[in-house]
Amino acid sequence: MAMESVNAGSMRSLSAMFDSSADADRAVSALKAAGIADVVLTGQENEGYGSQQYSAEARTDRGFFESIGDFFFPEEDRYAYAEGLNRGGYLVTVRNIPDHQYETALNILDDEGAVDLDAREAEWRTEGWTGYAGGEAAAAGYAGERSAAMDADLNAEGKIDVVEERVTVGKRQTEGGRVRVRSYVVETPVEQDVELRSERVHVERRPVDRPADSADFQERSLEAREYAESAVVQKEARVVEEIGLNKDVESHTETVRDTVRKTEVEIEDERGQVVDRDTDLDRR
């Protein structure tokens, strides 16, 4: 199942995970054959999905996570894609898709075997993967290591960075079902009554008694032909209905709620009393 993201320029993008390099390569070739050239394949060196098993121990290798950092993914999707790559999968990303080619790209990715990422995430969670929440914890761990290093050098540098998170809300498209119309030919028996006329020739012989003359002694012949009507079937094909597919597009506004983190700074004198607090840091 392909997922949509929208970059800063409002161009549409699609991403899909594949279990094998053959499926991923086939999808890339089909996209390029359709004239969709901005395609990126990540994970070419993988041995296939399932070649690496999940470990509950903290991972220090964030190579896949950072390798897809240039793509405009929602943060939770980036953690899921990185996990799929860590397990040996392949990520196909299609960027800057024109509107008239979007449906074509989506159908190609689905037809070539894109995995259902939501179902795959549910499977990973049963094995102990924590997903985006776990990713935040891991990111906090890295931040903690950096903070410790900064504390060690604080006297030398003479500064503390004030950090504030900002929220960027993206979009992804999920498939809600498909309507497909196809036509095929069936034969239906039909019946219709038709009245047919036929002729029969009968020989009639009637006894008579009258005088004959020389004219009666001549050779003569009578002839009558029989005719009969037969049914003739003719067919005419007529177009009686047209069927097309249209979409009704509706837009709605959804409020996204989350939390952001920031650091606050307190300044103390040598006696440990609080003399100043940067209240400006409370701004949103």
Domain-embedded: residue 225: no
Give, in order, the Cα–Cα distances in Å from 282 to each of 148, 260, 263, 266: 25, 12, 10, 13
pTM for this entry: 0.45
Domain-embedded: residue 161: yes
Report CA torsion sign: 271, 273, 276, 280: positive
Q: Which pLDDT does position 90 carry in this prediction? A: 92
- Strand, helix or coil at 205? coil
- Structurally, the chain folds into a number of domains equal to 1
Domain-embedded: residue 194: no
Q: What is the pLDDT of residues 21-44, one digit of tens each?
A: 999 999 999 999 999 878 888 888
Q: Which pLDDT does position 18 carry in this prediction? A: 92
- Strand, helix or coil at 141? helix
Q: What is the pLDDT of residues 56-84, one digit of tens each?
A: 554 444 566 666 666 666 777 888 888 88
Domain-embedded: residue 97: yes
Q: Let me know: does 197 contact 160? Beta carbons within 8 Å.
A: no
Q: Which pLDDT does position 141 carry in this prediction? A: 41
Could you write out the three-class secondary structure of 144-199?
A: HHHHHHHHHCHHHHCCCCCCECCCCCCCCCCCCCCCCCCCCCCCCCCCCCCCCCEC
Determine the number of helices (DSSP H) and then strands (DSSP E) in the chain.
7, 6
Burial string for 234-272 (b: 16+ CB within 10 Å, else e) reads eeeeeeeeeeeeeeeeeeeeeeeeeeeeeeeeeeeeeee
3 secondary structure, DSSP code = E
Q: Let me know: does 53 contact 36? Beta carbons within 8 Å.
A: no
Rg (the chain; Cα; Å): 41
Q: Which pLDDT does position 176 carry in this prediction? A: 75
| Identity of the residue numbered 134 | G
Domain holding 25, by residue range, is 3-178
Q: Which pLDDT does position 64 carry in this prediction? A: 67
Q: Which pLDDT does position 29 carry in this prediction? A: 93
Domain-embedded: residue 134: yes
Q: Let me know: does 79 contact 135? Beta carbons within 8 Å.
A: yes
Q: Which two tokens stand for residue 278?
A: 């940067």
284 residues of the chain, pLDDT tens digit each: 666 555 444 568 888 999 999 999 999 999 999 998 788 888 888 888 877 766 555 444 456 666 666 666 677 788 888 888 888 889 999 988 888 888 999 999 999 989 998 888 888 888 888 877 644 444 444 344 334 333 444 445 567 788 888 888 878 777 777 888 888 899 999 898 989 899 998 898 999 988 988 887 888 888 889 999 898 988 899 998 998 888 888 888 888 888 888 888 887 776 755 555 554 444 33
Domain-embedded: residue 191: no
Please tell me the distance from the alpha carbon of residue 30 to that of residue 2, in angstroms, as a whole number: 15
Helix (H) or strand (E) holding 119: helix 117-126
Domain-embedded: residue 256: no
Domain-embedded: residue 170: yes
Q: Which pLDDT does position 137 carry in this prediction? A: 46
| Identity of the residue numbered 247 | K
Please tell me the distance from the alpha carbon of residue 116 to that of residue 2, in angstroms, as a whole number: 8
Taking the alpha carbons at both ends of the chain, their separation in whole angstroms is: 37
Q: Which two tokens stand for residue 214?
A: 């020389």
